[in-house]
Structure 1
Amino acid sequence: MVSSNTPDQLVRKARGRPRDWHDKTAQNTIKSLDRAMEVFEFLSEAQGRALSTLAADMGQSPATVYRILVTLEGRGLVEFDPVDQVWHVGARAFIIGARFLKRTSLVERARPFLRQLMEDTGETANLGIEQNGHVLFVSQVETHASIRAFFPPGTLSRLHASGIGKALMAQMGAAQLDRFLSDAPLERFTEFTLTDPDALKADLAATRTRGYAIDGEERNLGMRCIAAPVFDMNGEAVGGISVSGPTARVGSERIADFSAAVVAAAKELTVAIGGSAIS
Structure 2
Amino acid sequence: MDHPYDAGTDSGLIDPGSIDPGSIDPGSIDPGSIDPGSIDPGSIDADKQNPIGTLQRGLAILGVLASGEQPTVGSLIERFDLSKSAAFRVLMTLREHELIEWDSTLNGVVLPSVRSVHLGMAGLRAFDPWEHGRVELVRLAQQLDEAALMAVRDGDEMVYIAHEDRSDHAVGVRRLLGSRRPMYCSSLGKAFLSRLDEADLDSYLQRAEFKVFTPTTITDPDQLRRELLESRTRGWAIDRAEHESGVMCFGAAVVDHVGQPVCSISVAGPYDRINEGRDHIVALLMQTARSISERLGHAPRN
Q: Please confirm whether the aligned pair reaches a TM-score higher than 0.5, indicating the same fold.
A: yes
Give 1:122 shift.
1.2
Question: What are structure 2's unaligned runs of at least 5 residues?
Answer: 1-126
Question: Is residue 2:146 matched to residue 1:123?
Answer: yes
Distance 1:148 1:128 in 2: 18
TM-score, normalisation: structure 2: 0.55
Distance 2:299 2:290 in 1: 8
Aligned to 2:130: 107
User: 2:143 is aligned with what amino acid?
Assistant: D
1:157 to 181, 186, 199: 181
2:239 to 200, 203, 215: 215
Distance 1:204 1:121 in 2: 25
**DSSP-derived class of the 1:201 partner:** helix
Residues 137 and 151 in structure 1, CA contact (< 8 A), matched pair in contact too: no
Question: What are structure 1's unaligned runs of at least 5 residues?
Answer: 1-103
Give 1:155 shift.
1.1
C-alpha deviations, 1:78-109, integer Å up to 9, x for none?
xxxxxxxxxxxxxxxxxxxxxxxxxx822111
Distance 2:203 2:175 in 1: 27
In the superposition, relative to structure 1, how do residues 143 and 195 fare at CA in structure 2: closer, same or farther (>3 Å)? farther
2:230 to 206, 223, 227: 206
Give 1:167 shift.
0.3
Residues 233 and 276 in structure 1, CA contact (< 8 A), matched pair in contact too: yes
Question: Is residue 2:221 matched to residue 1:229?
Answer: no
Question: Is residue 2:228 matched to residue 1:183?
Answer: no
Residues 167 and 207 in structure 1, CA contact (< 8 A), matched pair in contact too: yes
Residues 190 and 219 in structure 1, CA contact (< 8 A), matched pair in contact too: yes
Count of aligned positions: 175
The within-5 A match list for 1:232-243 is 232-243=256-267
RMSD in angstroms over aligned alpha carbons?
A: 1.7
Distance 2:193 2:300 in 1: 15
**DSSP-derived class of the 1:271 partner:** helix
Distance 2:267 2:197 in 1: 25
C-alpha deviations, 1:30-78, integer Å up to 9, x for none?
xxxxxxxxxxxxxxxxxxxxxxxxxxxxxxxxxxxxxxxxxxxxxxxxx
Looking at CA atoms only, which structure, 1 or 2, has the larger radius of gyration?
A: 2
C-alpha deviations, 1:114-144, integer Å up to 9, x for none?
1111111111000111110001111110142
Give 1:235 shift.
1.7
C-alpha deviations, 1:200-228, integer Å up to 9, x for none?
01110110111100101011110000011
Residues 196 and 260 in structure 2, CA contact (< 8 A), matched pair in contact too: no
User: 2:192 is aligned with what amino acid?
Assistant: L
Give 1:184 shift.
3.4
Residues 236 and 277 in structure 1, CA contact (< 8 A), matched pair in contact too: no
In the superposition, relative to structure 1, how do residues 206 and 139 fare at CA in structure 2: closer, same or farther (>3 Å)? same
Give 1:278 shift.
6.9
Residues 156 and 208 in structure 2, CA contact (< 8 A), matched pair in contact too: no
**DSSP-derived class of the 1:250 partner:** helix
Residues 214 and 241 in structure 2, CA contact (< 8 A), matched pair in contact too: yes
